[in-house]
Structure 1
Amino acid sequence: MVGVFGKSVTIMYNHVLRNILAPSKEVATNTFRYTSFYNKLSAEDIWRGVTSVSNAGKKRGRGKGSGKRVAKDLNRGQTIGVGSRNFVWPGLNAPIVRGKTLIQQERLSEVNNMDRNINKIRDLMGTYRIAKVNSIDRGWSGAKMPGRSIGPPDAINEEMFENFDTRVLENKIVFIMKGNMGRKRRYSVLSITGNKKGLAGFAVAKAPEVRTALRKSKNRAAQKVIKIELCDNHTVFHDFSCAFGKTRIFVQRKPEGYGLICHRAIETICKVIGIRNLHAKIEGSTNLQHIVKALFLGLLQQKTHEEISRKTNLHVIEFRNETGLHPHIISKPESCKASKDPLSKEVSDYTQYVLDDQISLKKRKFAPFYIDSKGYNLFLKRKEQVRNQQKVRVNMNAFDNDLQSV
């Protein structure tokens, strides 16, 4: 029976012997439980149970500021065999044999600053400071990720992405409902990468961790790089309008030195592509993903000067302010239309032609509050004699090739 029932039969047999040998004495048995709540769970789980709220509370927005604790790791700074009293323990904090001499246990001097050093290490725990980001590396708003650079993409086989730079455009938390895991949280990152010479690509990636999502988005954007034509390596070829969803963008070509006057996402995209001078206006939704897709569609659909001249059989002539509005032929067709050919059915206005009959909404400008003031009238009188001087000089050079009085 002992072999069959094991320990329980042996305990019962000992209990019977005690009653036989000492029948007058009462036998008191105590049950001991060697496992408890505190040694079953880890310290992290116990702290989480104290400082957090339930899942139902989290869904209702409670406990947003909870969970912040400053717990000291009492094991940090401790070394086995070293304590506040200086002892030499052979085999623990000292070798057993040094040369041919056997080391004996002994006590050293009482001067020991170990307790002070351990307390200093523990006091430093929990005092976390956010790393200050350099002003050049900051994004759109402080130290947040949108607008910041995350470096070039990782190499693919022998392809090294030299001179590439990747910028984060959107970093947000998204949720998905799983049948077995419930509400699952992930990070969604939209980034764009380019070499500032017309090569660029964008991609969206999701992952449970931020670093993983950033890396996946960067490498995925590198696999979708496309070629975008640039005019004079600094701007677009012509004005155009583009749309995606409820977002519509009107882009205007600007001369050298104008800069990027546009939405911050469009500005970041243009810097990565290599566009330095441009004006853009957004109408409708400002969804970041729609802005990126609409702008790329417009950049890919723009027509070069050679395509326009070949399609219309007309010369493409440009008037620039920096050259005094002198006409400059940009592109010539193989066979030009004669002046007697009818052009009534065709769009003769260049801006209307490249915008596909789309017009940007321009708000009416209101007169300033000082329009009827005495000081403004005096200013107009002083400037009356030279108010159109620069415009007249430019027009004379452009159309008469000479400065002369009328």
Structure 2
Amino acid sequence: MASKLLGLRTLFSQSLKLLPKHPYNNSVHNLNHFSTSSTLNVNFFNKLPAEKLWKSVTSVSNAGAKKGRGKGAGRIRIRDLNRGQVIGVGKINMLWPGLSAPVIRGRELLKQQRLPDDPERMEKLIKLRDSMTKFRRLKLSPIERGWSGSRMPGRSIGAPDPVGDEEFVGFDTKVLQLRSLLIMKGTLGRTRNYQAMVVTGNGQGLAGFGFGKSKEAQAALRKAKNRAGKKLMNFEIYNGHTVFHDFFTAFGSTKIFVQKKNEGYGLKCHRAIKEICQAIGIKDLRAKIEGSTNLQHVVKAFFIGLLQQRTHQQLAEEKKLHLVEYRAENSYYPTVVASPEKVRTKEEIPKDETLDFIQYILNDRVILKRKKFPRFYESMPSYQIYLKKYEKYRNHEKIRLNLRAEYGEIKSFLNDKYPEEKAEAEA
């Protein structure tokens, strides 16, 4: 240890001999008079710009991407670390000449001084700090956010782009599907594309749907929206709220049974069908899907069914018979809604012809319904006593009307049990 100290002393004495001497005497200069020069330490973090540093964090090599690496790198939000960094601005309200204030004001030379605290200035600094450090997701209202939170299906993307001088006034476009597709190519390898399906309409019977593909999601949505605007179809709406009649439609292995409903019923159907109905202007409808629920097949099948539906006048001309409507709100009073030019007589109608309206418009198809089992209380003696007491009310005017509408005749609950009594009464 002593030898090391001795070596340091000799080295220091030799360095003093090499120092420059004062021109007036031989004394050594004071150490405070030395001039110093700063050297920059160059490393990885201050050599490269911010873009290169962020790319090293968020990117992945082609070989790594093929192996499935770097899937979570896309979630990293690239931030501007220089945002809000103003020289001379800090938590303490200070006056810095040359930074936050001029050096000379008039003939006065400004000096560094602390100013009184300003609460408004502190609030601005806190907001700026929070905007830099905290990432807040854009919150949408439940009506605008679509089917599944922050994803695009179900959200509105506005009207299609104008075509020449014509603009789509009153139109709105809803996203039905947005999915990513992986396509294998010989030169580029596995590439990712986006496919979008949208429906656009003005809510007054004019609507259309379209598809779009692109390498970016926004470009695919824009293509689909503009194609939907170029393929508009006109649909007639019965009384401004529903379809003209029940219908059956199919596309591929998807089958849809659509039922006409009264005003105020609402839309009880698949969410894609609901968006299509809102784009067209249909307010009351019920749809039941059987088979595959492939979204593209559902949309195509429903549009085919709407195009194939017929007005009441067309149905009357097809059958050459009067089209009569019975509605509960009209107390089942028969109302003629359409009449053909030439009406067939009873003798001209074949015996095997389908005269049931529902069976005719569904092309002799039958909707599957759940089997109805007798109620648990029907076999109880108390229920039989209730039916016997209720028997005397069957001759009331409203009940007679309901019996004729439901069974086609005025009958008792005992007619099924004793059919011979019915034959004797008719005789």
Q: How far off is 1:64 after superposition?
A: 3.8
Q: Against the structure 1 CA distance between its residues 189 and 341, is the aligned structure 2 distance closer, same or farther, given a 3 Å change threshold?
A: same
> Structure 1 stretch 71-80 or stretch 248-257: which is displaced more?
71-80
Candidates 122, 125, 132, aligned match of 2:132: 125
Q: Tell me, in whole angstroms, the C-alpha distance in 2 between the residues paired with 1:288 and 1:47.
A: 39
Asked if 2 retains the 8 angstrom alpha-carbon contact of 1:87 and 1:105, the reply is no
1:150 equivalent in structure 2 = 157
Higher relative contact order (CA 8 A, sep 6+): 1
TM-score (norm. length: structure 1)? 0.73
Matched, 1:292 2:296: no
Instruction: Within 5 Å, give how 1:4-15 maps onto structure 2.
Output: none
Q: Which letter does structure 2 place at the counterpart of 1:255? A: N
Asked if 1 retains the 8 angstrom alpha-carbon contact of 2:95 and 2:101, the reply is no
Sequence identity, in percent? 46
Q: How far off is 1:255 after superposition?
A: 1.6
2:369 equivalent in structure 1 = 362
1:394 equivalent in structure 2 = 402
Matched, 1:109 2:113: yes
Q: How far off is 1:184 after superposition?
A: 2.4
Candidates 221, 239, 246, aligned match of 2:246: 239
Instruction: Within 5 Å, give how 1:188-203 maps onto structure 2.
Output: 188-203=195-210
Q: Secondary structure at the match of 1:291?
A: helix
Q: Tell me, in whole angstroms, the C-alpha distance in 2 between the residues paired with 1:378 and 1:145.
A: 58
Q: How far off is 1:213 after superposition?
A: 2.7
Asked if 1 retains the 8 angstrom alpha-carbon contact of 2:171 and 2:200, the reply is yes
1:254-310 C-alpha deviation (Å, 9 max, x unpaired): 122222111111111111111111111101111111111100000001111111121
Larger Rg: 2
Q: Tell me, in whole angstroms, the C-alpha distance in 2 between the residues paired with 1:173 and 1:377.
A: 65
1:4-46 C-alpha deviation (Å, 9 max, x unpaired): xxxxxxxxxxxxxxxxxxxxxxxxxxxxxx9987688653444
> Structure 1 stretch 183-192 or stretch 326-335: which is displaced more?
183-192
Q: How far off is 1:135 after superposition?
A: 2.7
Q: Tell me, in whole angstroms, the C-alpha distance in 2 between the residues paired with 1:212 and 1:260.
A: 31
Instruction: Within 5 Å, give how 1:292-331 maps onto structure 2.
Output: 292-331=299-338
Q: Aligned-pair RMSD on alpha carbons?
A: 4.1
> Structure 1 stretch 117-126 or stretch 304-313: which is displaced more?
117-126
**Aligned residue pair count:** 362
Asked if 2 retains the 8 angstrom alpha-carbon contact of 1:71 and 1:126, the reply is no
Matched, 1:229 2:236: yes
Q: Tell me, in whole angstroms, the C-alpha distance in 2 between the residues paired with 1:72 and 1:301.
A: 55
- Superposed structure 1 runs of 4+ greater than 6 Å apart: 34-40, 80-85, 92-98, 103-106, 116-120, 376-384, 387-390, 397-402
Q: Which letter does structure 2 place at the counterpart of 1:321? A: A
Q: Tell me, in whole angstroms, the C-alpha distance in 2 between the residues paired with 1:54 and 1:45.
A: 14
Matched, 1:333 2:337: no
Q: Which letter does structure 1 place at the counterpart of 2:402? A: V
1:257 equivalent in structure 2 = 264
Q: Tell me, in whole angstroms, the C-alpha distance in 1 between the residues paired with 2:187 and 2:116.
A: 56
Q: Tell me, in whole angstroms, the C-alpha distance in 2 between the residues paired with 1:309 and 1:127.
A: 67
* Gap runs ≥5 in structure 1: 1-33
Candidates 177, 182, 185, aligned match of 2:184: 177
Q: Secondary structure at the match of 2:238?
A: coil
Q: Against the structure 1 CA distance between its residues 244 and 251, is the aligned structure 2 distance closer, same or farther, given a 3 Å change threshold?
A: same
Asked if 2 retains the 8 angstrom alpha-carbon contact of 1:241 and 1:248, the reply is yes
> Structure 1 stretch 42-51 or stretch 220-229: which is displaced more?
42-51
Q: Tell me, in whole angstroms, the C-alpha distance in 2 between the residues paired with 1:109 and 1:279.
A: 76
2:23 equivalent in structure 1 = none
Q: Which letter does structure 1 place at the counterpart of 2:183? A: I
Asked if 2 retains the 8 angstrom alpha-carbon contact of 1:191 and 1:204, the reply is yes
Matched, 1:279 2:286: yes
* Gap runs ≥5 in structure 2: 1-40, 411-424
1:43 equivalent in structure 2 = 50
1:14 equivalent in structure 2 = none
2:9 equivalent in structure 1 = none
Q: Tell me, in whole angstroms, the C-alpha distance in 2 between the residues paired with 1:373 and 1:401.
A: 23
> Structure 1 stretch 263-272 or stretch 41-50: which is displaced more?
41-50
2:218 equivalent in structure 1 = 211
Q: Tell me, in whole angstroms, the C-alpha distance in 1 between the residues paired with 2:252 and 2:407.
A: 45
Q: Which letter does structure 2 place at the counterpart of 1:210? A: A
Q: Which letter does structure 1 place at the counterpart of 2:322? A: H
Q: Secondary structure at the match of 1:143?
A: coil
Q: Against the structure 1 CA distance between its residues 319 and 60, is the aligned structure 2 distance closer, same or farther, given a 3 Å change threshold?
A: farther
Candidates 134, 142, 146, aligned match of 1:139: 146
Asked if 1 retains the 8 angstrom alpha-carbon contact of 2:206 and 2:280, the reply is yes
Q: Tell me, in whole angstroms, the C-alpha distance in 2 between the residues paired with 1:380 and 1:217.
A: 64
2:82 equivalent in structure 1 = 75
Q: Which letter does structure 2 place at the counterpart of 1:109? A: Q
Q: Against the structure 1 CA distance between its residues 289 and 81, is the aligned structure 2 distance closer, same or farther, given a 3 Å change threshold?
A: same
Q: Which letter does structure 2 place at the counterpart of 1:207? A: S
